[in-house]
């Protein structure tokens, strides 16, 4: 299981300082809306300057008509990133169009699909999607698998069921991880590392428990120790 650290701080300077503090650890970095909208491509380049071995997950959650998503995916593949994502609710046609566009690109990034955001609890989710989280997230995962994607974003609670219904090598990446009982914030389906491990999660994403800590490098070290 890999640790992916969310770089969601209010400035590039703070994110780069965090990356510097954890540069000797074997971690992935997650660059999401806040950082990419503000700091763009140059920020990604600056992260790789700190440590060229950092793997970067560009978390932009594409959702649009198929051709627009494929155009965006193709542009993402020109950036030096190792993973990006789309929404599974964009549908199988959109996901297939994306994969057809990127599948022959040399060293293409991994492509994941968001199933049910970890900030949803079942009732709110059902109001929008008309189904319980576990069954709909599993269905989204099957759609993504059949469309040729590499994996999904889900919560640790759905990971096992998703693997059973797709393939054990189909990647699950789970935000909403609170390693040492930290505050959940806006996350609803919060899990700890043990549960993620039991449910065969491949990547855990941790943001606030690390970047709001006064000693982020120590938190990262403690998490990595639990992963080994
Ligand atoms: O601070 P926290 O650990 O809750 O951060 C989780 C990160 O994962 C945030 O950057 C959030 O945007 C992202 N994320 C999520 N749920 C998803 C996909 C991404 O929380 N389904």
E-strand spans in 63-160? 83-87, 110-114, 151-153
Share of the chain above pLDDT 90, in %: 100
The answer to whether 113 touches 88, Cβ cutoff 8 Å, is yes
What is the domain partition of the chain in residue ranges?
2-227
Q: Is 61 a catalytic residue?
A: yes
The answer to whether 111 touches 73, Cβ cutoff 8 Å, is yes
CA of residue 80 to ligand 1 center, whole Å: 21
CA of residue 8 to ligand 1 center, whole Å: 9
Dump pLDDT digits (tens) for 179-227.
Answer: 999 999 999 999 999 999 999 999 999 999 999 999 999 999 999 999 9
What span, in angstroms and rounded, lies between the C-alpha atoms of 191 and 174? 9
Dump pLDDT digits (tens) for 6-54.
Answer: 999 999 999 999 999 999 999 999 999 999 999 999 999 999 999 999 9
Point out the catalytic residue in the list 61, 126, 142, 226.
Answer: 61
Q: Is the CB of 205 under 6 A from ligand 1?
A: yes
Q: What integer best gives the mean pLDDT of the chain?
A: 97
Q: How far is CA 167 from the centre of its chain?
A: 19
Contacts of 122 (CB under 8 A, 6+ apart): 132, 133
Q: Is the CB of 134 under 6 A from ligand 1?
A: no
CA of residue 217 to ligand 1 center, whole Å: 19
Domain 2-227 matching CATH 3.20.20.70: the answer reads yes
User: pTM for the complete prediction?
Assistant: 0.96
Q: Is the CB of 66 under 6 A from ligand 1?
A: no
């Amino acid at each position: 299981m890999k640790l992916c650290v969310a770089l969601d701080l209010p400035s590039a300077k703070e994110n780069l300082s965090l990356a510097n503090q954890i540069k000797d650890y074997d971690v992935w970095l997650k660059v999401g809306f806040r950082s990419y909208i503000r700091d763009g491509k140059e920020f990604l380049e600056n992260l790789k300057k700190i440590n060229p071995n950092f793997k970067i997950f560009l978390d932009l959650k594409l959702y649009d008509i198929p051709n627009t998503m494929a155009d965006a995916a193709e542009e993402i593949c020109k950036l030096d990133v190792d993973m990006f994502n789309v929404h599974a609710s964009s549908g199988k046609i959109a996901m297939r169009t994306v994969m057809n566009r990127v599948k022959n690109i040399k060293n293409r990034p991994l492509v994941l699909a968001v199933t049910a955001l970890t900030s949803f609890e079942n009732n709110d989710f059902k109001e929008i999607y008309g189904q319980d989280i576990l069954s709909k997230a599993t269905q989204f995962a099957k759609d993504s698998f059949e469309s040729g994607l590499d994996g999904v974003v889900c919560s640790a609670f759905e990971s096992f069921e998703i693997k059973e219904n797709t393939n054990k090598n189909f990647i699950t990446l789970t935000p909403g991880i609170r390693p040492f009982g930290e505050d959940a914030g806006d996350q609803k389906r919060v899990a700890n590392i043990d549960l993620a491990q039991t449910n065969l999660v491949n990547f855990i994403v941790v943001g606030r428990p690390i970047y709001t800590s006064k000693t982020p490098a120590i938190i990262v070290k403690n998490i990595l120790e639990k992963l080994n």
